[in-house]
Structure 1
Amino acid sequence: MTDTITAGRFRQVLGHYPTGVVVVSAAIPGRRPAALTIGSFSSVSLDPPLVAFYPDKASSSWPEIREQQRFSINILSAGQEDLCKQFAKKGSEKFAGVSWRPADSGSPIIDGAAAWLDCELYDVQEAGDHYLVFGRVVAMDAAPNRPPLLFFRGEYGSFTPSSQTAETAPEVPGIPTAAGTNEGVA
């Protein structure tokens, strides 16, 4: 079957692949920091430590971040949907009401993020209507007990590793389950 590949259909089909959500941010001398929400982020290389993301060519924040040559990547945690939406909007007031601290580079590290990476700009390539940006990681940290924010089929959610969930044992006639009793148990 051959579908006509429209932007809407492309987005719908790719929505079946869950993604994490990050906020890329940079300190701008004499002004408020610049930032944007990104859903396409990945690790690239261990040696050197590289990550990548894809800002839209129409972004007004990306040129400001690119000019600084340094940026932080904040991996948002479950429950930070409002921040995701706030940083996705156009405008200069993205950090209004947001608690953050500066990385050594000065780039904002958002409080409550699941993890953060402070990066130097490594390379930028054109990729259709986006750029492919590579960052070399120079510092990083994570909050191991803070699950990430996920985006799947147009909605936000979170992830709980199977090691952190109670296993559900199969029901065996005559054996009580954790939820109560089975039929046949007196």
Structure 2
Amino acid sequence: MTGRDGQGRIGFTCQSFYSVSTAPSLISFSIMKTSTTYPRIRRTGRFAVNVLSSHQQGISNQFARKGTDKWADIRWHQTLASNPVLEDTLMWLDCQIWAEHDAGDHVIVLGRVTEMNPATRHVHDPLLYFQGRYRHLGPDGTPWGPSPRSEDENPAGLPGSNNLCSTRRQRTKSGWTRLFYIGPGERRTVLRWSPAVGVAFCAAWAGQLDAWAASLAGPASLTHK
């Protein structure tokens, strides 16, 4: 999320962003109440959303850190509403604050879209973040495909399990099936697709991988490598 006030350009990395409505065009994001950046955006009444591309992991890390110059070496241009938007992203949206809703230790912010990038801009894959590490799309477009690990995977302390999780498709004699890979090292757990496994995998980032994998050992055809 980016913006500008009388003190200069503003920005922070946001994990929770989604579409809300098409008529009117509304989007939403959530921000901790302890944020020192969002109050500056609130006072301006406007902000921009920048959906990062797969090669912009460094920018995500840079805008997630506190106490540093988040805009150092960042290429950007200005929208009609004077918000700075990042170059080479997957897409961007310019918004006015529509409403705010209290949600525990967060504030849910609704924004009305006033401008967006041209459709021709969508030329990159998205930057994905899951299970405490960055991900990329696999060759078949599957999310959470294996991605190279780096020495700077989680510098901002973003939440997530330390277990490694990924999923990919595999061709069998009867067609395609999906395999779920859980756990680090050579003895990772491999689960073949079933409805129960799929639901459990989606909830796995709560950090209880060993518990649910063990509970599914029978019906899920659990094997070790």
Q: Give the TM-score taking structure 2 as reference length.
A: 0.60
Q: Which runs of structure 2 are paired with 1:83-98 in the superposition (5 Å)? A: 83-91=59-67, 93-98=69-74
Cα distance in 2 for partners of 1:170, 1:64 equals: 55
| Letter aligned with residue 36 of structure 1 | F
Change (3 A) 1:26 1:170: same
Cα distance in 2 for partners of 1:78, 1:168 equals: 24
Secondary structure, in 3 states, of the residue corresponding to 1:83? Answer: helix
Identical columns (%)? 34
Which residue of the other structure, out of 144, 150, 165, is the alignment partner of 2:122? Answer: 144
RMSD, matched Cα: 2.1
* Number of corresponding residues: 145
State the partner residue of 2:80. Answer: 104
Cα distance in 1 for partners of 2:64, 2:53 equals: 16
| Structure with bigger RCO (C-alpha 8 Å, 6+ apart) | 1
CA deviations 1:130-172 (Å, max 9, x no partner) are 10000000111252221110001011022257479xx98768x
Cα distance in 1 for partners of 2:138, 2:112 equals: 29
State the partner residue of 1:153. Answer: 131
Displacement of 1:48 in angstroms is: 0.3
Secondary structure, in 3 states, of the residue corresponding to 1:27? Answer: strand
Q: Give the TM-score taking structure 1 as reference length.
A: 0.72
Displacement of 1:32 in angstroms is: 2.3
CA deviations 1:18-67 (Å, max 9, x no partner) are xxxxxx111113x3211111010000000000000001111110001111
User: Which has the higher Rg, Structure 1 or Structure 2?
Assistant: 1
State the partner residue of 1:64. Answer: 40
Q: Which runs of 5+ in 2 are unaligned?
A: 143-168, 174-225
Query: Do residues 75 (structure 1) and 51 (structure 2) align?
Result: yes
